C-alpha cells in the first residue's frame, strides 16, 4: 500500500535510546536512566486514591470534549495561584497530554503549507508534528549568549505564520524572563505571527518561577501538561488555553479528533491539583539532583554546561569530545551503562556535538550515574570519540 510523504517523519531518538536501554536491561545489564524526560515518581498518592474511588462507583465513560468542567475550573484556578492571572475556565481545553494539544493548536491556527518557527535546540516533536500536518517547520538557531532561547533579532528575516517557544526549554532548561517573553510576543503581534507557548515545565524551577505568556497577552495559545510537575506522564493528560474566539474551533476539532481526553486520567489530574506537598517534595529532589549534576558532570569531563533554570535537564556541549553524538551516546550506554540522549534529537545540525542528561530520577540513581560517567570517561584512551 502507498504511504504518504507527510507520514515519513523522523524517529524520536530518545525513544529509540529507551528501547535500546530496555533491551540491555532485559539481557541483565544495569542501566541508569539519564535519557528519559519523565519523573521516576508516580502520580500523587491522593490522586491515585481518587481514581480508585471513582472506579468503584462510576462508569468512566466519555466526558465532554473540552474536559470535565471541574477540572477546567481547577486549571483556571492554578493560573491565579501560580501567576496571579484571572482565567476564564471556558478558555481551558483539557487534552490527551500536551502532544494532543499541539495537534489541536497547529490544526486550528495554520493552513497547510504555512511556515512555523521553532527555536533550535528544541523539543523534536514540534517539527515532526508540523510536518505530519503538511506544515513547514522553520528551525531558528539560538545563541549561547541568549541562553539558547530565541530573541526578536533571530526572527527578523524569517517568514512564518507562527512561532513556538518553550520556557523552561527542553533540552536546555533555560527560561525566558518577563522582558524576553514580552519582546517575543510584541514582535509576533506586530507581524501577525501566532504565538504558541509551551509551558509544560512550569512548576519546575530552581530560582525565579517561569513566566506564562498569559501574564503578557490573551492573544496566544498556551500549552501545558500534567506530565512533568504533576508526575503523570503515562496518564496522558494536559491542557491548552486558547483565545476566547478560538474555543469553538478547538472544541469541534477535539470532538472529532479525540472525542475526549481519558476520563480516568482527568479524575487523577483534578485530584493532583491539590497534592502540592507531594509535588513540592519531588521538586526538592530535582533541585538536589540538579546540584549533583552541576558538580558531577564537570568532574566527569563534561565541562561545557549552562546551569538550567528549570525542567530536569542539563544540555552539554561535547564538541571537545565528539562530532557524532549518536555514536557517543551509544558508547556511553554500552560501556558506562548510562542512557543519555544525543543532541541530534533537538538540533539537526549542532546537535551532533551535544548531549542531554536528564536528572528526573531518584537521587541514588543520579549519584550512581555520575560515578559511572566519571569512571567511563577516565578510562577513555585519549578523551576523544571518533
Ligand atoms: C517541551 C515539551 N513539550 C511537550 C512534551 C510532551 O509531553 P506530554 O505529551 O507528555 O504532555 C514534552 C515531553 O517531553 C516536552 O519536553
- Quote the ligand 1 centre to 148 CA distance (angstroms): 18
- Quote the ligand 1 centre to 200 CA distance (angstroms): 6
Mean pLDDT of the chain, nearest integer: 95
The number of the ligand 1 atom at minimal distance from the alpha carbon of 166 is 1
Report how far residue 39's alpha carbon sits from residue 233's, in angstroms, rounded to the nearest whole number: 8
Confidence band of 272 (pLDDT split at 50, 70, 90):
very high
Nearest to 103 by CA among 137, 130, 66: 130
- Whether the pLDDT of residue 384 is over 70: the answer is no
pLDDT at position 383 is: 52
Whether ligand 1 lies within 6 angstroms of the CB of 95 is answered as no
Whether ligand 1 lies within 6 angstroms of the CB of 172 is answered as no
What average pLDDT does the segment 329-355 reach? 95
pLDDT at position 381 is: 65
Beta strand 194-198 pairing with 162-166: parallel
- Quote the ligand 1 centre to 98 CA distance (angstroms): 6
pLDDT at position 36 is: 86
Whether ligand 1 lies within 6 angstroms of the CB of 223 is answered as no
Q: Between residues 10 and 218, which one has the greater pLDDT?
A: 218
Handedness of CA 249, 262, 128, 42 (dihedral sign): positive
Nearest to 126 by CA among 134, 141, 140, 116: 116
DSSP codes, 262-290: -HHHHHHHHHHTT-HHHHHHHHHHHHHHH
Nearest CA to ligand 1 atom 13: 37
Whether ligand 1 lies within 6 angstroms of the CB of 233 is answered as yes
Q: Between residues 308 and 380, which one has the greater pLDDT?
A: 308
Nearest CA to ligand 1 atom 16: 170
Q: What is the pLDDT of residues 50-63, one digit of tens each?
A: 999 999 998 899 99
Nearest to 297 by CA among 121, 37, 41, 34: 34
Nearest CA to ligand 1 atom 7: 98
Confidence band of 386 (pLDDT split at 50, 70, 90):
very low
Whether ligand 1 lies within 6 angstroms of the CB of 170 is answered as yes
Side-chain-side CA neighbours of 276 within 13 Å: the count stands at 4
Strand partners, 240: 93, 223
- Whether the pLDDT of residue 83 is over 70: the answer is yes
pLDDT at position 171 is: 97
What average pLDDT does the segment 12-16 reach? 83
Whether ligand 1 lies within 6 angstroms of the CB of 238 is answered as yes
pLDDT at position 301 is: 95
pLDDT at position 59 is: 86
Whether ligand 1 lies within 6 angstroms of the CB of 225 is answered as yes
Nearest to 249 by CA among 99, 107, 111: 107
The answer, as to whether pTM is greater than 0.75, is yes
Nearest CA to ligand 1 atom 4: 98
- Whether the pLDDT of residue 321 is over 80: the answer is yes
Burial 89-126 (b: 16+ CB within 10 A, else e): bebbbbbbbbbbbbbbbbbbbbeeebbbbbbbbbbbbb
pLDDT at position 12 is: 82
The number of the ligand 1 atom at minimal distance from the alpha carbon of 96 is 9
The number of the ligand 1 atom at minimal distance from the alpha carbon of 102 is 4
Confidence band of 231 (pLDDT split at 50, 70, 90):
very high
What average pLDDT does the segment 312-340 reach? 95
Whether ligand 1 lies within 6 angstroms of the CB of 315 is answered as no
Count of Cβ atoms closer than 10 Å to residue 22 Cβ: 13
Q: What is the pLDDT of residues 86-143, one digit of tens each?
A: 999 999 999 999 999 999 999 999 999 999 999 999 999 999 999 999 999 999 999 9
Three-point CA angle 186, 150, 107, nearest 5°: 70
What average pLDDT does the segment 268-292 reach? 97
Percentage of the chain modeled with pLDDT above 90: 93
Amino acid at each position: 500500500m502507498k504511504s504518504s510523504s507527510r507520514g515519513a517523519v523522523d524517529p524520536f531518538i530518545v525513544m529509540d535510546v529507551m528501547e535500546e536501554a530496555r533491551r540491555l536491561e532485559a539481557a541483565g545489564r544495569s542501566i541508569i536512566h539519564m535519557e528519559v524526560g519523565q519523573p521516576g515518581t508516580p502520580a500523587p498518592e491522593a490522586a491515585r486514591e481518587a481514581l480508585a474511588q471513582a472506579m468503584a462507583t462510576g462508569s468512566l465513560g466519555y466526558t465532554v470534549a473540552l474536559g470535565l468542567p471541574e477540572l477546567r475550573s481547577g486549571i483556571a484556578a492554578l493560573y491565579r495561584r501560580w501567576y496571579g492571572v484571572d482565567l476564564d475556565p471556558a478558555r481551558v481545553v483539557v487534552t490527551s497530554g500536551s502532544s494532543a494539544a499541539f495537534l489541536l493548536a497547529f490544526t486550528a491556527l495554520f493552513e497547510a503549507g504555512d511556515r512555523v518557527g521553532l527555536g533550535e535546540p528544541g523539543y523534536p516533536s514540534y517539527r515532526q508534528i508540523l510536518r505530519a500536518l503538511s506544515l513547514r517547520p522553520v528551525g531558528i538557531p539560538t545563541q549561547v549568549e541568549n541562553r539558547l532561547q530565541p530573541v526578536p533579532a533571530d526572527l527578523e528575516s524569517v517568514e512564518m505564520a507562527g512561532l513556538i517557544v518553550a520556557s523552561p526549554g527542553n533540552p536546555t532548561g533555560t527560561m525566558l524572563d518577563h522582558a524576553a517573553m514580552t519582546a517575543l510576543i510584541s514582535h509576533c503581534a506586530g507581524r501577525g505571527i501566532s504565538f504558541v507557548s509551551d509551558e509544560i515545565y512550569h512548576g519546575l524551577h530552581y530560582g525565579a518561577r517561569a513566566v506564562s505568556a498569559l501574564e503578557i497577552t490573551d492573544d496566544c495559545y498556551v500549552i501545558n501538561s500534567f506530565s512533568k510537575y504533576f508526575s503523570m506522564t503515562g496518564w496522558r493528560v494536559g491542557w491548552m488555553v486558547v483565545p476566547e474566539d478560538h474555543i469553538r474551533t478547538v472544541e469541534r476539532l477535539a470532538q472529532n479528533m479525540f472525542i475526549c481526553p481519558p476520563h480516568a486520567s482527568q479524575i487523577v489530574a483534578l485530584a493532583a491539583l491539590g497534592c502540592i506537598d507531594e509535588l513540592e517534595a519531588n521538586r526538592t529532589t530535582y533541585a538536589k539532583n540538579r546540584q549533583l549534576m552541576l558538580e558531577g558532570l564537570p568532574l566527569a569531563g563534561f565541562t561545557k554546561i549552562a546551569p538550567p533554570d528549570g525542567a530536569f535537564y542539563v544540555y552539554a556541549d561535547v564538541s571537545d569530545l565528539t562530532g557524532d553524538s549518536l555514536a557517543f551516546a551509544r558508547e556511553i550506554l554500552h560501556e558506562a551503562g548510562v542512557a543519555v540522549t544525543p543532541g541530534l534529537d533537538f538540533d539537526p545540525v549542532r546537535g551532533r556535538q551535544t548531549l542531554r542528561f536528564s536528572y528526573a530520577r531518584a537521587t541514588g540513581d543520579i549519584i550512581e550515574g555520575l560515578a559511572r560517567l566519571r569512571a567511563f570517561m577516565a578510562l577513555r584512551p585519549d578523551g576523544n570519540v571518533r
